[in-house]
Amino acid sequence: MFYEPLIKIAKEENCFVIEDQPLAKYTSFKIGGKADLMINVFGEMALIKILKFICSEKIPYYILGNGSNLLINDNGFRGVILKLSGEFTDIKLLNNDVILCGAGAKISKLCLFTLENYLSGLEFLWGIPASLGGAVFMNAGAYNLEIKDVFLSCSHITPCGRVEELKKEGLEFGYRKSVYMKSKNIITFVKLQLQKANKLAIKSKMDDFLQKRKEKQPLNYPNAGSIFKRPIGNFAGTLISNCGLKGLRIGGAQVSEKHAGFIVNTGVATCEDVLNLIKLVQEEVFKKSGVLLEKELMVL
């Protein structure tokens, strides 16, 4: 694929461009081959120009957040990986309790911003290694709370470079899904409605959620969070554990012995190892419980 014109446009817009970029280091799973091209985009006008060219030339592209719910093929990605930096990581108060945050901002940065500004509502996300755009894309959540609970609206750019805004009702939020899973639109900025609260109370909630994660999740191994969606009336981890699958291993991929809802990379796992292990777990759980586990994990 002929990338020179795209590289020229990106550099003219002061973007950071890398060819044949290994992607494993950009995901929490630490798995994945090379992308033909990675472009770090620092501003909205640059992103519009790049998307218009990509659209006109029909070049495959993927927007990469913090890679915390993503498994990338061992052969990499034949196309362009876009990462949002610069103004897309900015966070600011619009008024007393409404935040405007770039989609490229890490959840950790956003949670610390809310803490410093005495704002409550995002404590449940503390400790999740995601970007805000990724969290909105999949309606991230934990402990019976979801991003939709504090969401007001967001801006996005269409594949052909048009800037649009969606209110909450337009997101079609559901369990681990949003309207963005059905489009190639790129979320750029998000408005969140929070509540003023005591700073010590906010910090206490954040500490409590983080402690729960440390106690229950295999944070000592590379992983991509919960592999499966929660089945109605049950928990994926419980079903997997009840089937005696904790510790089950294919190659370098292993069902976590700490939390069966997680698959960990023991150090040498490939994408194929993980996918084969997911398939085996699904088959065994269905055979023994009649429940077909659905992947929460995104696969590129």
Q: Please choose, from the candidates 199, 193, 190, 194, the residue with its C-alpha nearest in 3D space to the C-alpha of residue 115.
A: 199
The sheet carrying 77-84 orders its strands as 16-22, 34-41, 77-84, 61-63
User: Is 226 marked active-site?
Assistant: yes
**Residue of 68, 120, 226, 256 marked catalytic:** 226
- Number of C-beta neighbours around residue 8 at 10 A: 12
The identity of residue 267, as a single letter, is G
* SS3 (DSSP) at 209: helix
Q: Please choose, from the candidates 34, 38, 36, 37, the residue with its C-alpha nearest in 3D space to the C-alpha of residue 75.
A: 34
* SS3 (DSSP) at 173: coil
**Residue of 68, 131, 176, 178 marked catalytic:** 176
Q: Please choose, from the candidates 239, 238, 229, the residue with its C-alpha nearest in 3D space to the C-alpha of residue 177.
A: 229
The answer to whether the beta carbons of residues 135 and 124 sit under 8 Å apart is no
**Residue of 44, 123, 146, 296 marked catalytic:** 296
Catalytic positions are 176, 226, 296
